[in-house]
Amino acid sequence: MLHRQLRNALEDIFGVPFISEALDNPQVAQNILYERPDEFKSTVRGFQRLNYQDEHASYAAGLERDLGIALICALLDSNTRELVSDLGLNYL
């Protein structure tokens, strides 16, 4: 249930097409985690500090596509979440 609520909230923020694209491309997220962990960390922390959906939507609109995919996959894709944990990138 919580996973579905999170996905619904993210779909409202990023849009359904982007969420679908992100979840179809976990390899993009994995590349970000390996190649740009500091930018991933900054992205996650920036997203976490916001409180309202309109703030999240504005933040999401300004994100680089690949960092957005990494954020979505880290939140919704179990393999990416596992990689986040394995790499010690637990900012979520």
pLDDT for 88 equals 86
Rounded to the nearest integer, the mean pLDDT of the chain is 93
pTM of the model: 0.91
- Dihedral sign for Cα 48, 49, 53, 58, please: negative
H or E element, residue 8: helix 2-14
What is the C-alpha to C-alpha distance for residues 50 and 29, in angstroms, rounded to an integer?
22
Question: CB neighbours of 25 closer than 8 A, spacing ≥ 6?
Answer: 69, 73
Which regions of the chain are under pLDDT 70? 1, 91-92
